[in-house]
Amino acid sequence: MKALIIASGDIPTKKLIKELIKKSTMIICADGGANTAKKLKLKPDLIIGDFDSVTKSSLKFFKNVQKIIYKDQYSTDLEKAIRYCIQKGITDIDIIGASGKRIDHTVGNIGCFKKFKKFVNLRVVDNYGVLTALNKFIKLKTRKGDIISLIPLNKCTGITTKNLKYQLNYDFLELGVREGTHNVATDKFVEVSCKKGDLLIYQLYRKY
């Protein structure tokens, strides 16, 4: 099962959203994401959060949509939506609207990779590319010249890559010390492995 979560940040194009919907079995709005769904005329299966961002007009517009209110202030609305998916046995989640606008919200949303990567496969999708978490090893389908960025959330050690222009051989990356942004694929696939740490991979679409 795969879910599409709509958060309240910047969203990708309608064309990209339609492609994501086709692959999803459930659409969930994380609080203010319902405002976005209303603008796009998308009917979600669920609206979840503390309901401090969703407008009255959106609630009225989606009066027949299931709603779950959590007043817990120790987790974000996106976290609430992800936890709901995990409880329902959903294994894969695409997230749109997780970046852009407020930096604090963007950083908090990126932190979800570290919190939930052991329980569910997350992808943050925007107009530029796809952000995923590395779970020890990943093999990406690429084309020569594709941009691949390695983003460490903490100190990541034992990183080895294959078919990247700037290779890593049992090396390390650490935020604020040494990052791995804007690397370049040199073949039809790229392999990345990491022994320890929380490493994210951002693969840009070909047009960038």
List pLDDT tens digits, range 137-165.
Answer: 999 999 999 999 999 999 999 999 999 99
The string over 169-200, giving b where at least 16 C-beta atoms fall within 10 Å of a residue's C-beta and e elsewhere, is eeebbeeeeeebeebebbeeebebbbeebbbb
Contact 128, 195 (CB under 8 A): no
Find where tokens 């090396």 sit.
171
Q: How confident is residue 207, by pLDDT bands cut at 50, 70 and 90? A: low
Residue 208 has pLDDT above 60, yes or no: no
Residue 150's pLDDT is what? 98
List pLDDT tens digits, range 48-105.
Answer: 999 999 999 999 999 999 999 988 878 899 999 999 999 999 999 999 999 887 888 8
Query: How far, CA to CA in Å, does 50 sit from each of 3, 8, 195?
Result: 20, 13, 38
Cα-only R_g, the chain: 18
- All domains of the chain, ordered by start, with CATH? 2-127 (3.40.50.10240), 133-204 (2.60.120.320)
108/179 Cα distance (integer angstroms) = 19
The string over 26-58, giving b where at least 16 C-beta atoms fall within 10 Å of a residue's C-beta and e elsewhere, is bbbbbbbbbbbbbeeebebebbbbbbebbeeeb
Mean of all residue pLDDT scores within the chain: 94
**With pLDDT > 90 as the criterion, what percentage of the chain qualifies?**
88
Residue 27's beta-bridge partner residues?
4
Full-model pTM:
0.92
Angle CA(116)–CA(122)–CA(124) in degrees, nearest 5?
125
